Chain A
Amino acid sequence: MNGFVFQAFVYLLAAVVSVLVAKRLGLGSVLGYLIAGVLIGPVLHLIGNETEDLQHFAEFGVVMMLFLVGLELQPRALWEMRAKLVGLGGLQIVATAAIVMTIAMALGQVWSVALTIGLVFSLSSTAIVLQTLGEKGLLKSDGGQASFSVLLFQDIAVIPMLAFIPLLALPELSQHAEDVAAASGGHASASLVDGLPGWQVAIVTLAAVAFVVIVGHFLSRPIFRIIAAAKLREIFTAAALLLVIAIALLMSVVGLSPALGTFLAGVVLANSEFRHELESDIEPFKGLLLGLFFITVGASIDFGLLWAHLATVLALTVTLMLVKAWVLYGLAHSFKLQGSDKWLFALGLAQAGEFGFVLLSFTVQNAVLPPDLAAVLLLVVALSMMLTPALFILLDKVILPRFDRRQAEEADEITEPGSIIIAGLGRFGQIINRLLLANGHKTVVLDYQADVVEGLRKFGVRSFFGDAGRPDLLHAAGLPSAKLLVVAIDDVERAITIVKHARRENPKLHIIARAFDRGHVYRLYQAGADDIVREMFDSSVRAGGYALTALGMHPYEVEKSKAVFVKQDRWGLRQLAPLWREDVEVFNNAEYIARSKEIGAILEAAMLGDRSALHDRTDRGWTPPGARERPDEEKTAG
């Protein structure tokens, strides 16, 4: 137990400190995690050989990441990507593998070993690239989309590679391989489809995919609705995790890539009203697991081996990255990527990836590569991943500035037009939403009541299920780039939290907040809301107006009276604001009470038309000359 707590302490401390420092220095979180891993592993020896096990566990972060990527991608968008996916992705793998294979053979490797190396190195790091692109907000750019296509195709291509590589086994290594396979559980763990004829494998595979699509499309919504109705947040989170893990398990059993399966499930759920909630539930797990994964990459670097083969490893790494970048740049050119997107694509994907680790240990088990060669190649993979953040810095500091103007012009086309978030879709938020929609605006609506969301979706309102009090959900709804946030929830404390958070995240945002009472108005103002509306104020004034009309007051007098009342009340609110104190109950705030009484007297006088006491009179301008001190014969009569 103590050992576990200590390990967790070391990992988390290293992560928090390194990532914060890296972020401060503008290096991005991935490099921070990698450095943290190097520090606690090879440098300080705070962690031991559990690293490798942890790494397999942490690879699940990639699976979650693809689920999240799928959630962001509508099925139609995926279909539109098909040319890029197969064209870019396929050509990238073939070209890179061929060139790497040629170089390896020139360096004296057997063709089968050379081909294996080519395949291993043709893959890039989904974890690093998507994480970094997401952090930089470049996922939606052309370069980001192209990168994503290639990464997705690579993730798919891993499956046939796993099937193909054992065929390249070297006879002289077989004995050793059996020992290794016996010692470790291995990645090529027996699956359900082992030993089945090809056509049956195909049927099982198709059935599994169909199962994911059908369950995702038809069953997930009612199930999530039931879970949501229970209003137990942790159960919803558990269900979200269960979904991802169940799909990953199913895919492993039928011999498909778990990452691919969850990606598919994500795409199926991209239209669901639970999308944002799922996103924000899975996101922290994905982040932590990926972080852990990067730490283990850093920690797994064998410095002894590295020093021994320093020149070789460095030369191989640089050569590999140059080859990959060159192939990618050529592809970017033929697929008509422009300017900075071309460079983003070429440099971003120039590393080897986490699947390289998987494939390398797999090749050793299957006697395809000699273990000592695999160990050196493992260093090349790790080092190229370590260097990727440096390439992104190069991209940021040297290459992107040259394209800045161009990018700014293009940005208009990529970004969606100013987004509006409405938090809370009760009686208050619904009216606001209707008014905005009626005037041709697009809104993103968040509410915690699944039945409300479900109902509104039937009317075509873009509503999402989720607790708007959660910063991550607001983030997923587009807070960083939103123009307007309406906080229409009826929870006093959560409204304050949301306003504070939103103001911090997006200083330019215009925030309209629903207030419960005066105290809430003051607190919302301090929290940074721009327009604050007391939820009952305007409707109460209207009801009061009807009361006056019913009592025989002329409707226009009622309007004027209401106008003066509203103006006076809001003036009073501003007068009392400095006296209001968050730590003192209003009934115990003597100053506040005294001033409140004074203001009450002024208001009453104003309503009854006592000129001496007020700023506004209900009748100013319409009183006949006789009723005024200074006769104005022309203006009025009658």
Chain B
Amino acid sequence: MARVLVLFAHPGQRHSKVNVEMAKVARGLEGITFVDLYADYPTFNIDIDLEQARLLEHDVLVLQFPIYWYSTPSLVKEWQDLVLEYGFAYGHDGDRLKGKRLLIAATAGGDEQAYNPQGRNHFSFRTLLSPLEQTANLCQMEFVPPFVLFSASKAALDGRAGQHLGDYRAILEALRDDRFDFAAARHFDVLHHDTLPIQGATQ
């Protein structure tokens, strides 16, 4: 059993269609720690010691958020700036996160085709998240290919939302139960319904 921590960040939950449902899934799973960062830190006064302790108590960190301007909502950046301290997460003696794994679970507004050199967004989704990937590298964590829902605002209409929620549940359970195939995952740029590296998956 791996210990899984889900840090959920969404500043506009009133209007959320998929993320809040995903959060409910995560919150409802046994053996998984779920944290709503915007609920715990509505004034951005992050408790650094508490957050570091949480990281140490878990093996897998899942950051779940909607993509804002090709990046995270601002509180996640604040969390990185404060919690991933020198001497803790990186730098001299900063190896407390070594060997842990980081999975990004994001929703994006644009469709998959927009995220490539010829598309409207000019970069692949994975490339755009390279700051987070390098953050994981510096912290000696394994960066798992991000789990993405593209065209998220349309997902509720075309039925992909329900599918995505099921996949999210499957991924979290697989991480928890050590059935997530990290080796297979490395072959993919991003993870979605068609590229789930889960052992014994029947979907």
Query: Which of B16, B38, B110 contacts A638 (CB under 8 A)?
Result: B16
Pick from B40, B108, B153 the residue with the most CB of A within 10 Å.
B153
Give every chain A residue within 8 A of B11 (Cβ-Cβ). 556, 622
Residue on B nearest A554 in the bound complex, by CB: B13
Shortest Cβ distance from B190 into chain A, in angstroms? 15
Query: Which of A554, A622, A636 contacts B109 (CB under 8 A)?
Result: A636
Query: Which of A555, A557, A627, A636 contacts B68 (CB under 8 A)?
Result: A636
**Cβ-defined contact, B14 with A638, below 8 A:** no
**Cβ-defined contact, A627 with B15, below 8 A:** yes
Report how far A632 CA is from B12 CA in the complex, Å: 15
**Cβ-defined contact, B68 with A635, below 8 A:** yes
B197 at the interface (CB under 8 A from A): no
Contact with B along A595-614 (1 / 0, CB 8 A): 00000000000000000000
B18 at the interface (CB under 8 A from A): yes
Report how far A626 CA is from B151 CA in the complex, Å: 11
Give every chain A residue within 8 A of B12 (Cβ-Cβ). 619, 621-624, 636
Report how far A636 CA is from B13 CA in the complex, Å: 12
A558 at the interface (CB under 8 A from B): yes
**Cβ-defined contact, B15 with A624, below 8 A:** yes
Residue on A nearest B121 in the bound complex, by CB: A634
Kindly identify, within residues 392 to 445 of chain A, every residue whose CB is under 8 Å from any CB belonging to chain B: none
Kindly identify, within residues 87 to 115 of chain B, every residue whose CB is under 8 Å from any CB belonging to chain A: 107-110
B70 at the interface (CB under 8 A from A): yes
A637 at the interface (CB under 8 A from B): yes
**Cβ-defined contact, A638 with B17, below 8 A:** yes
**Cβ-defined contact, A558 with B109, below 8 A:** no
Shortest Cβ distance from B8 into chain A, in angstroms? 11
Report how far A45 CA is from B114 CA in the complex, Å: 105
**Cβ-defined contact, A637 with B153, below 8 A:** yes
Contact with A along B5-32 (1 / 0, CB 8 A): 0000011111111110000000000000
Give every chain B residue within 8 A of A619 (Cβ-Cβ). 12, 14-15
Report how far A621 CA is from B153 CA in the complex, Å: 15
A559-B110 contact in complex given A619-B12, A623-B12, A634-B70, C-beta closer than 8 Å: no
Give every chain B residue within 8 A of A638 (Cβ-Cβ). 10, 16-19, 66, 107, 149, 152-153
Give every chain B residue within 8 A of A622 (Cβ-Cβ). 11-12, 15
B200 at the interface (CB under 8 A from A): no
Pick from A621, A627, A636, A638 the residue with the most CB of B within 10 Å.
A638
Shortest Cβ distance from A26 into chain B, in angstroms? 56
Report how far A624 CA is from B66 CA in the complex, Å: 10
**Cβ-defined contact, A634 with B15, below 8 A:** no
Query: Which of A554, A556, A557, A626 contacts B153 (CB under 8 A)?
Result: A626
**Cβ-defined contact, A554 with B18, below 8 A:** no
Report how far A638 CA is from B15 CA in the complex, Å: 8
Report how far A617 CA is from B16 CA in the complex, Å: 17
B42 at the interface (CB under 8 A from A): yes
Report how far A626 CA is from B161 CA in the complex, Å: 15
Shortest Cβ distance from B31 into chain A, in angstroms? 25
Give every chain B residue within 8 A of A637 (Cβ-Cβ). 18, 66-67, 107-109, 151-153
**Cβ-defined contact, B42 with A556, below 8 A:** yes
Kindly identify, within residues 60 to 79 of chain B, every residue whose CB is under 8 Å from any CB belonging to chain A: 66-70
A633 at the interface (CB under 8 A from B): yes
Report how far A475 CA is from B18 CA in the complex, Å: 65
Residue on A nearest B109 in the bound complex, by CB: A637
Report how far A486 CA is from B167 CA in the complex, Å: 60
A371 at the interface (CB under 8 A from B): no
Report how far A623 CA is from B13 CA in the complex, Å: 9
Shortest Cβ distance from B165 into chain A, in angstroms? 12
Report how far A636 CA is from B110 CA in the complex, Å: 9
Give every chain A residue within 8 A of B42 (Cβ-Cβ). 555-556, 558-559
Report how far A635 CA is from B68 CA in the complex, Å: 5
Give every chain A residue within 8 A of B202 (Cβ-Cβ). none
Give every chain A residue within 8 A of B38 (Cβ-Cβ). 554-556
Give every chain B residue within 8 A of A625 (Cβ-Cβ). 109, 153
**Cβ-defined contact, B66 with A557, below 8 A:** no
Shortest Cβ distance from B148 into chain A, in angstroms? 10
B203 at the interface (CB under 8 A from A): no
Give every chain B residue within 8 A of A627 (Cβ-Cβ). 15
Report how far A636 CA is from B10 CA in the complex, Å: 10
B39 at the interface (CB under 8 A from A): yes
Shortest Cβ distance from A610 into chain B, in angstroms? 14
Residue on A nearest B40 in the bound complex, by CB: A555
Report how far A15 CA is from B138 CA in the complex, Å: 82
Pick from A621, A632, A633, A637 the residue with the most CB of B within 10 Å.
A637
Give every chain A residue within 8 A of B118 (Cβ-Cβ). none
Shortest Cβ distance from B1 into chain A, in angstroms? 29
Pick from A554, A557, A558 the residue with the most CB of B within 10 Å.
A554
Report how far A623 CA is from B152 CA in the complex, Å: 13
**Cβ-defined contact, A636 with B121, below 8 A:** no
Kindly identify, within residues 23 to 63 of chain B, every residue whose CB is under 8 Å from any CB belonging to chain A: 36, 38-40, 42-43
Residue on A nearest B152 in the bound complex, by CB: A637
Give every chain A residue within 8 A of B36 (Cβ-Cβ). 554
Residue on A nearest B9 in the bound complex, by CB: A556
Residue on B nearest A562 in the bound complex, by CB: B42
Give every chain B residue within 8 A of A632 (Cβ-Cβ). 109
The 5 closest A-B pairs by CB, nearest first: A622-B12, A638-B66, A637-B109, A637-B152, A556-B38
Q: Which residues of B contact A (CB under 8 A)?
A: 10-19, 36, 38-40, 42-43, 66-70, 107-110, 121, 149, 151-153
Given A637-B152, A638-B152, 20 new contacts (CB under 8 A): A555-B38, A556-B11, A556-B38, A556-B39, A556-B42, A557-B13, A558-B42, A619-B14, A624-B15, A624-B16, A625-B153, A634-B69, A634-B70, A634-B121, A635-B68, A637-B66, A637-B153, A638-B10, A638-B17, A638-B66
The 10 sampled A-B contact pairs (Cβ below 8 Å) are A554-B38, A619-B15, A623-B12, A623-B15, A624-B17, A627-B15, A634-B70, A637-B151, A638-B16, A638-B17
